[in-house]
Amino acid sequence: MIKIKSTTVCAVLKDGKVTIGADGQATMGNTVAKSNVNKIRVLLDGKILAGFAGSTADAFTLIERFEEKLSKYGGNMKRSAIELAKDWRMDRYLRRLEAMMIVADNNQILIVSGTGDVIEPDNNIATIGSGSMYAQAAATALKENNPKLTSEEIVKKSLKIAADICVYTNHNIIIEKIK
């Protein structure tokens, strides 16, 4: 899988409700370029969420392509993600894009990468970006040990922990959930 740094995105599906959150930091090299970037998009009239890590322009290109696939395949998120991953891996232009995505609805979460991976993660927790392992560990522990926490609470707490540890992740957290 591609290692993307400079952000943290976390998605949790719990009790039929999905939440995606991301920090707001954008960096250029080792300099903070902006501290309040929105890395989450609401798609398909609020039925699907997408979060991205990596180059913003590349991510927007991928999200546009993903929306085209959703339209072509009648909103089928998994099929659309697989078709996007195929194109991403095979297309000469797309192959150069440096980004990763998490896409989710209230039934499943998928991680999509340019190497052709479409991964449905264990425990309905997905993370990408430089702080992903910190957020993953925190979300797993919170979900397993605090059954009363909602998906939104788990995402917020996990991203806060990642921001405390990862220099490429800040505390300007943006959260989206499917209504």
Report the predicted TM-score, pTM, of the whole model to 2 decimal places. 0.92
Name the residue with tokens 């078709």: 83
Residues 2-16 pLDDT 10s: 444 578 999 999 999
pLDDT of residue 133: 96
Residue 60: pLDDT band by 50, 70, 90 thresholds?
confident
CB neighbour burial string for 71-107, b if at least 16 within 10 angstroms, e if fewer: eeeebebeebbbbbbebbeeeeebeebebbbbbbbbe
Q: Is 140 one of the annotated active-site residues of the chain?
A: no
Confidence grade of residue 96 (pLDDT, cut at 50, 70, 90): low
Q: What is the pLDDT of residues 126-173, one digit of tens each?
A: 999 999 999 999 999 999 999 999 999 999 999 999 999 999 899 999
Give the separation between CA 169 and CA 172, rounded to whole angstroms. Answer: 9
Higher pLDDT pick, 164 / 60: 164
Q: What domains are defined for the chain?
A: 8-177 (3.60.20.10)
Determine which one of 7, 8, 19, 27 is catalytic.
7
pLDDT of residue 10: 98
